[in-house]
């Protein structure tokens, strides 16, 4: 288990670095005020209109960087630091979340795949750690432990798969956002560079999560293969 704690510790440090970097970038680009004077809400509503999406509402949600698109309720949920703010960071986030709405409207395959996995992954991630730990404990006393560990690995693997499927979904949403912002001349060149940098660091949080999940999965697979 020492190996597991080493991996977890390293991943935690990398994750904290990327998270803090994202927060500092968001803070920095929140000071880059938009010349067009539009708020995050107004930018989101315009992007939806320009893509002929009329059944999605833009609403405010509590918290910092808690922005997300809800495909079930068809709402673009913008955090307090995005909804009413008029800066490059807010524009980037608002357009990115609308990118998910556009994906939904156009039946983007990776988004559809991720949405189908959500119920299964939600259950699997809650159970996997407990099943894996149970398998490791049982392996010391009974052959059944290997089977229990394998079940836990499969459950954990679903979460890892979900993490990697999320990557093209997030990168595509950012690409759609940046293309629209440029095509519609929503931002100046300086504002666009700030928006692009913000979205790059946001995407890296998903990359770190996916790599971390894969590393942890491979660690448990190695234990399983080594004790069979």
Q: How many Å apart are CA 128 and CA 154, to the nearest integer?
A: 8
Q: What is the DSSP string of the chain?
A: -HHHHHHHHHHHHHHHHHHHHHHHHHHHHTTSB-TT---HHHHHHHHHHHTT--S-EEEEESSSS--EEETTTTEEEEEHHHHS--BHHHHHHHHHHHHHHHHHHTT-HHHHHHHHHHHHHHHHHHHHHHHHHHHHHHTTT-THHHHHHHHHHHHHHHHHHHHHHHHHHHHHHHHHHHHHHHHTT-S-HHHHHHHHHHHHHHHHHHHHHHHHHHHHHHHHHHHHHHH-
Please say if 97 is a catalytic residue: yes
70: Cβ contacts below 8 Å, ≥ 6 apart: 77
Candidates 42, 97, 170, 191; catalytic one: 97
Query: Residue 171 corresponds to which tokens in the numbers above?
Result: 């990168």
Catalytic center residues: 97
């Amino acid at each position: 288990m020492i190996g597991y704690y080493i991996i977890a510790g390293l991943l935690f440090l990398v994750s904290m670095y990327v998270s803090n970097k994202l927060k500092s970038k968001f803070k920095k680009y929140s000071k880059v005020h938009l010349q067009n004077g539009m708020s995050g809400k107004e930018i989101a509503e315009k992007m939806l209109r320009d893509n002929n999406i009329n059944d999605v509402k833009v609403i405010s949600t509590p918290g910092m960087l808690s922005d997300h698109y809800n495909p079930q309720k068809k709402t673009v949920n913008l955090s307090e630091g995005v909804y009413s703010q008029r800066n490059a960071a807010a524009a980037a986030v608002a357009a990115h979340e609308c990118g998910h709405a556009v994906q939904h409207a156009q039946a983007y395959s990776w988004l559809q795949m991720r949405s189908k996995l959500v119920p299964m992954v939600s259950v699997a991630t809650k159970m996997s750690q407990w099943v894996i730990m149970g398998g490791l404990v049982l392996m010391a006393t009974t052959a059944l432990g290997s089977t229990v560990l394998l079940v836990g690995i499969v459950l954990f693997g679903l979460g890892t798969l979900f993490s990697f499927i999320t990557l093209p979904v997030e990168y595509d949403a950012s690409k759609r956002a940046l293309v629209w912002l440029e095509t519609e001349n929503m931002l100046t060149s300086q504002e666009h560079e700030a928006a692009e940098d913000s979205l790059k660091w946001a995407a890296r949080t998903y990359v770190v999560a996916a790599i971390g999940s894969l590393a942890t999965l491979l660690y448990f697979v190695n234990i399983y293969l080594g004790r069979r």
